[in-house]
Amino acid sequence: MAVRADNTLPVLLDDQFERLDLTSAERAGIQQVLTSRLAD
């Protein structure tokens, strides 16, 4: 079980994002940034 800290980015564990209190727009934006960085 991962420790959850407030105001943290979602951490990819076991191919699944931890549930954090982010809006769908925030989550989509973060995921897009992470995906674009991995693609570079």
List, for residues 10-31, the tens digit of each pLDDT value. 666 555 556 666 788 888 888 8
Q: What is the pLDDT of residue 24?
A: 83
Is residue 38 a contact partner of residue 21, using CB atoms and an 8 Å limit? no
**pLDDT exceeds cutoff 60 at 4:** no
Residue 37 has what pLDDT?
A: 81
30 belongs to a structural domain: yes
- Domain containing 31 equals 8-39
In terms of Cβ atoms closer than 10 Å to its own Cβ (0-12, 13-18, 19+), residue 14 is: exposed
> What was the pLDDT predicted at 1?
47
Query: What total of structural domains would you count in the chain?
Result: 1
The answer to the question of residue 17 being in a domain is yes
Residue 1 resides in a domain: no
pTM of the model: 0.38
| Residue 3 domain flag | no
